[in-house]
Amino acid sequence: MEAMVPVMRRESSLICPADHFRDIRAAVEIGDEFGVAVIIAGGAESAKVASLLKEKNVPVLYAAIHALPRNAEDPYDINFATPEILRRAGVKFAIVSNSASDSRSLPFVAATAAAYGLEREDALKAITLWPAEVLGIAGKVGSIEPGKLANLLVTRGDPLDIRSEVKYVFIEGKLVDLKSRNTDLYDKFTQ
């Protein structure tokens, strides 16, 4: 129960895993009933209730871009297009991964959303600044500004392009060594 104290004081948000539009609607209603801020996690069918999410100012941590459509009557590209549908509706959202092991694919997931209508700049924001804003930590991370933690990724090419090479990674302003067994093997066998 102690974990709920900051939520009830509106110092933090209640993150509600919900994919079906009825579950999303129920989470929004719980927020209204108890007067707490709600964030939808997953949000596979969030496009179906985008107007409600906008009206109630409920953000979405969207994780279903590469999932299959949930219903036979849904368009084949509904999951790819949902980020743009949410953006047009004025819903704050972020593109996220449901697993830490797949987080390395996040730029390419965002690129899929860009291919289905989301502006490329917004796709990049959806995996950097917007998640920080949704989670209330944009004062520390999410963009390059004085006073922030200086977590940076430097690529050769577009960071949303799978062919781009990650050249440098900085965490809290410190260069991270990208050498690994895999890079050593690559170097060895390309000669």
| Per-residue model confidence as pLDDT tens digits over 59-95 | 999 999 999 999 999 999 999 999 999 999 999 999 9
DSSP designation for 94: E
pLDDT score recorded for residue 181: 94
Superfamily for the 2-138 domain: Metal-dependent hydrolases (3.20.20.140)
Distance of CA 7 to the CA centre of its chain: 21
Helix then strand then coil, % of the chain, to nearest 5 = 40, 15, 40
Q: Where are the domains of the chain?
A: 2-138, 150-191
Distance from C-alpha of 78 to C-alpha of 75, rounded to nearest angstrom: 5
Helices vs strands, H then E, count in the chain: 8, 7
Look at residue 51 and tell me whether its pLDDT is greater than 90.
Answer: yes
